[in-house]
Amino acid sequence: MVRVLLYLFVIALLAVGAVWLADRPGQVLVVWQGLEYRSTVAIAAIAVVILAFLVMIAWTLIRFILGLPSAFSFASRSRRRARGFEAVSRGMVAIGAGDPVAAGRYAQDARKFAGNEPLTLLLEAQSAQLSGDRGRAEAAFKAMLEKPETRVLGLRGLFVEARRRGDMAAARAFADDAVRRSPSLAWANDALLDFHTSAGDWQAARTAVERRAALRLAEKAEAKRQRAVLLAAEALDAKGREPEKALAAALEAVKLAPGLTPAAALAGRMLSERGDVRKAAKLLEAAWREASHPDIAAAYLDVRPGDSAQDRLSRAETLAKLRPSDPEGVLALAGAAIHARDFARARKVLKPLLAGGASVRACLLMAELEEAEHGAAGKVREWLSRATRAPRDAAWVADGLVSDQWLPVSPISGRLDAFVWTVPPATLSSTGPTIEDDVLADLDDRSAPLLEAKAETVTPIVEPAPAPVQQAPIVVTAPEPVETPPAPKPEAKPEPVPAAKVEAKPEPEPAPVTEASKPAPAPAAQREARPSPVIFPVSHAPDDPGPEEPQSEEAAKGRFKLFG
């Protein structure tokens, strides 16, 4: 609209000028080379305009003719540049599609048409990495160092290549150079933090965390938690040689993260060793409110060295009240009750856990309770056997690894603060002996005296006695349990006789078949796996768990190892 108005304004001015000249006629005389030219003012004005227009056309034509060589050169460069950027674009698409052949071809075209453009160098490096040519990739990244606009990109590429070939010293040097040139680079700061934590340089790691927080490369809560973890790691390393430094670091870590279990447990134990029982108890209670953990419970129960079992039981009751119905508090209270020989209290406390599916630690506590209260080896073995099949308790888990102790850095990925206290899946690996291995070893130790006692009362038999009517014994044989058939076959066969069957005529060297003296009929029976089938009926109390079938082949093999 503005342009239309401007156009109309110009036309109006021209019309006014023409009218003004028409109203004021006059003569124009031009004398040149003895010749006189006369004309009116209007015609002279029109002639001047036409002459100016012709001069402009002539000047434009002359410039066009003189600029033809440079125009041709510029057009050629533009076409080459366009082809180069088109090759770069198609090369990037080929890299994204995972086509190294096409990416290499387009990289050559980009180098031919676009020269040492930053995108050309990047395409060459990416195509070389995709095809596995590390030397060509490093050469492209080194070429990027020569240009200020691509220097940081080249450092990152060289850093990645150094890590791939395992040269951590060179990778760290590239990361340091990148941070000096551009302090706000997130990847360089993260890399330096990983290098410091992997080397155990907790002070330098804390400096890196603070720099990341100052540059807003990490959230405030995340940076605060990372500082607490690094302080806890520093306290654990210094607790043996520099106890004062370790205590100060642990207290600062607890202040930053009250729920950090390793720092709280260490600070509580060190304060109790110094005699500051009240402060230690207060600190451990605050940590227990944030997150219940067996280490905090153990440190709280032992906060005053030399206390009696009743005093420890009282503290366990206080701890359980802070988090009612918490499984860790229940287990701590039950263990303290057993040590105080308050067996009725221990059974009452453990009853809800047993009703909801007893874990490994609950089964071990029940075995300890049966041994301490009744000395019943059979019930102890039942609970220990059940512990091998019980659900796992919470543990420190990080990157698919289960550890028996907390670590500040994951040994798998090197990530800081990777360990989480949670119930691990059954498929995760462990850094040390599993709970099942400990239970099996304990079961071997506990079952040895019982097997020796039974061996004294065993008498050999030739034919199996008929099973009692009120019992349904199960015969367990390797490699998997089978039920005893109703009657053995009298004649022998050339093939191996099943373990559950007994021939009328024994082999030349038959395996000893024994049977323990049978107690009164009971609602369930427990079996032991031996080379020959042996039945051990065992009676159970109404609240006992009773024998359970193995849930896996590994568990069955474990039972054969224990009872065989």
Ordered by start, the domain boundaries in the chain are 2-47, 76-144
Residue 237 has pLDDT above 60, yes or no: yes
52 C-beta neighbours (distance < 10 Å), count: 10
H/E run at residue 231: helix 220-238
CA distance 143 to 133: 16
What rounded mean pLDDT belongs to the chain?
77
pLDDT tens digit sequence for 314-331: 999 999 999 888 899 999
For position 427, what pLDDT does the model report?
A: 57
- Pairing mode of beta strands 401-403, 395-398: antiparallel
pLDDT for 469: 38
Work out the angle at residue 24's Cα, subtended by the Cα atoms of residues 18 and 27, and round it to the nearest 5 degrees: 100
Question: What is the C-alpha separation between 223 and 146, in angstroms, rounded?
Answer: 36
Residue range 128-147, pLDDT digits in tens: 888 888 888 899 899 899 88
Distances (CA, A) of 466 to 455, 471, 476, 511, 526: 22, 11, 17, 20, 17
Residues 320-352: b if buried by 16+ CB within 10 A, e if exposed: beeeeeebbbbbbbbbbbbbbebeebbbebbee
- What's the confidence (pLDDT) of residue 416? 92
Alpha-carbon dihedral sign for residues 243, 246, 252, 258: negative
pLDDT at 31 over 70: yes
Which residues have CB under 8 Å from 534's CB, separation 6+? 513, 514, 515, 516, 527, 528
Secondary structure element (H or E) that encloses residue 31, with its range = strand 27-32
The whole-angstrom separation of Cα 101 and Cα 162 is 25
Phi, psi of 518 (to 5 degrees): -90, 135
Q: With 90 as the cut, is the pLDDT of residue 407 above it?
A: yes
Q: What are the residues facing 421 on neighbouring strands?
A: 396
Q: How far apart are CA 300 and CA 332, in angstroms?
A: 10
- Phi, psi for 182 (deg, rounded to 5): -145, 90
Model confidence pLDDT, tens digit, residues 428-484: 555 544 444 454 444 445 444 433 433 333 333 333 344 443 433 333 333 344 344
With b for 16 or more beta-carbon neighbours within 10 A and e for fewer, the 1-36 pattern comes to eeeeeeeeeeeeeeeeeeeebeeeeeeeeeeeeeee
Q: Are strands 429-430 and 401-403 parallel, antiparallel or unpaired?
A: parallel
Is the pLDDT at 541 greater than 50? The verdict is no
Q: Which residues pair with 402 in a beta bridge?
A: 397, 430
Output the pLDDT for position 32. 81
* Tokens 């048409």 sit on residue: 113
Q: What is the pLDDT of residue 429?
A: 52
Question: What are residue 502's phi and psi, to 5 degrees?
Answer: -120, 125
Say what the pLDDT of residue 287 is: 93
What's the 3-state SS for 355-419? HCCCCHHHHHHHHHHHHHHCCCHHHHHHHHHHHCCCCCCCEEEECCEEECCCCCECCCCCCECCC
Quick check: 500 pLDDT over 80? no
Angle (CA) 361-453-516 rounded to 5° is 100
Q: What percent of the chain is modeled with pLDDT above 70? A: 75
Say if CB 408 and CB 197 are below 8 A apart: yes
More confident call, 302 vs 490? 302
Whole-number Å distance between alpha carbons of 511 and 531: 7
Give the residue-averaged pLDDT of 359-387.
90
Q: Is the pLDDT of residue 410 over 80?
A: yes
Which comes out higher in pLDDT, residue 505 or 96?
A: 96
pLDDT confidence band for 485 (50 / 70 / 90): very low
Band (pLDDT 50/70/90 cuts) for residue 395 is very high
Question: Quick one: pLDDT band at residue 66, thresholds 50, 70, 90?
Answer: confident
pLDDT at 431: 54
Please report the pLDDT score of residue 490 as a whole number. 42
Angstrom distance (rounded) from CA 333 to CA 353: 12
Q: Which residues contact 563 (CB under 8 A, 6 or more apart)?
A: 447, 528, 529, 530
Long-range pairs of 541-548 with CB within 8 A, sequence gap ≥ 24: 541/379, 544/379, 544/382, 545/354, 545/358, 545/382, 545/383, 545/386, 546/382, 547/382, 547/385, 548/385, 548/386, 548/389
User: Whole-model pTM?
Assistant: 0.62
pLDDT band at 158 (very low <50, low <70, confident <90, very high): very high
pLDDT reported for residue 175? 93
As given in the structure block, the two tokens for residue 75 are: 């057009």
Instruction: Judge whether residue 285 has pLDDT over 70.
Output: yes
Residue-wise pLDDT tens digits, 416-429: 999 999 988 865 55
Cis peptide before 479 (omega within 30 of 0): yes
Find which of 51-55, 229-233, 487-491 is predicted with most confidence, using mean pLDDT: 229-233
Q: Is the pLDDT of residue 358 over 70?
A: yes
- Low-confidence winner among 19-33, 247-261, 272-286, 440-454 (lowest mean pLDDT): 440-454
DSSP state letters, 458-523: -EE-SSPPPPPSS-------SSS--PPPSS--SS--SSPPPTT---SS--SSPPP-EEPPP-S--S
Q: 186: which residues sit within 8 A by CB, 6+ positions away?
A: 217
Rg (CA), the chain: 45
- CA 302 – CA 4 distance, rounded (Å): 94
Q: What share of the chain is helix, strand, coil (3-state, %, to 5)?
A: 60, 5, 35
Of 315-324, 361-370, 551-560, give the lowest mean pLDDT range.
Answer: 551-560
**Residue 295: predicted pLDDT:** 94
Most confident of 228-237, 444-453, 505-514: 228-237
346-357 mean pLDDT: 86
- Give the span between the Cα atoms of 561 and 549, in whole angstroms: 15
Give the closest residue to 319 by CA, choosing from 303, 308, 306, 305.
303
Cα(314)–Cα(41) distance, integer angstroms: 123
Of 500, 482, 480, residue with least CA distance to 553: 480
What is the pLDDT, as a whole number, of residue 517? Answer: 40
